[in-house]
Amino acid sequence: MSGLLELYGVATKADESNWDDIIQRQMCPYLKRRCAKTRKSTPDLTIGACSVLYSRDNKRIMICPHRLLDRRQIFLDCLHLLTLHEPGNELHIVSEVAVPGGSVDYCLVSVRDQRVVDFVGMELQTLDTTGTVWPARQRFLQSKGIAVDSRDTDSAKSFGMNWKMTAKTILMQLNHKIHTFENVHKHLVLVVQNHLVDYMRREFQFEHIANARLGDSLHIHTYALNRGDDFSFRLGLSSRYSTDADGVARSLGLQADPNVALEHIIGLLEAKISSKTLFAL
């Protein structure tokens, strides 16, 4: 049976007796604030589900993109793509940067004297579910002696993995954005779980997407959810691939031709950098 692996960043099989307090606080350890995923029907309640065990494939699946922020490792793994970065420069992490075709989740930015020297765009993607994980969440809490609405534990309600739509959506988004980064000679990185990329390699035209090369504009960093101590889980880099704008279009058979001046993106980044965006472990 499919079920929760992590709730509010805590492994559900961990030796944790304080679940009532965890549920009351609703804190995301990766965002370091209240969980951002709320119930549509009850906006004051957060879901808190980070990852699940999907029984059909017996795979540990991350379903919240914030889970990828574990130890901020994904940013360290992009440092080599800041080709103009030098010792002494500050590192900043800027979120939600607008580019043609939408926005990128994060930019890792090299800054000297409050001026942007270089940047790498980063898109985070985890698997979307079909159905809701709420009944599984509530059944887990019930097993820990926490009172829940019995209607929420209906065993007939289950969730699945939306492999196809998730994969197609992110590829289409990349297709619209990668031209922008390629035109300004910068890198865009897709941060994704290994299981999703395995699916994409099977179902889409991925034969031309090979091991990472610094000269390619699009890099794909895949991460596994590895077992740690005391039933906990730890994010680990699994593999790296790369391609260019033509390669993304080839995967989908689509094309996009956005163009934007380098100065425009730099202006957006410089307007957002501050002491709050300064990179710190």
Low-confidence ranges of the chain (pLDDT < 70): 1-2, 16, 154-157, 253-261
- The pLDDT of residue 111 is 97
For helices 163-183 and 194-203, the axis angle rounded to 10 degrees is 90
- The pLDDT of residue 256 is 41
- The pLDDT of residue 50 is 97
In our burial notation (b when 16+ CB lie closer than 10 A, e otherwise), range 195-211 reads: bbbbbbeeebebeebee
- The pLDDT of residue 267 is 82
Partnered with residue 99 across adjacent β-strands are 102
- The pLDDT of residue 164 is 92
- The pLDDT of residue 114 is 95
Length of the chain, in residues: 281
List phi, psi (to 5°) of 168.
-65, -40
- The pLDDT of residue 224 is 97
Predicted TM-score of the model (pTM): 0.88
- The pLDDT of residue 157 is 67
Contact (Cβ atoms closer than 8 angstroms) between residue 13 and residue 60: no
- The pLDDT of residue 265 is 82
List phi, psi (to 5°) of 115.
-115, 135
- The pLDDT of residue 154 is 67
In which element (H, E) is residue 220 found?
A: strand 218-227
Domain boundaries, the chain: 1-56+128-161, 71-125+162-281
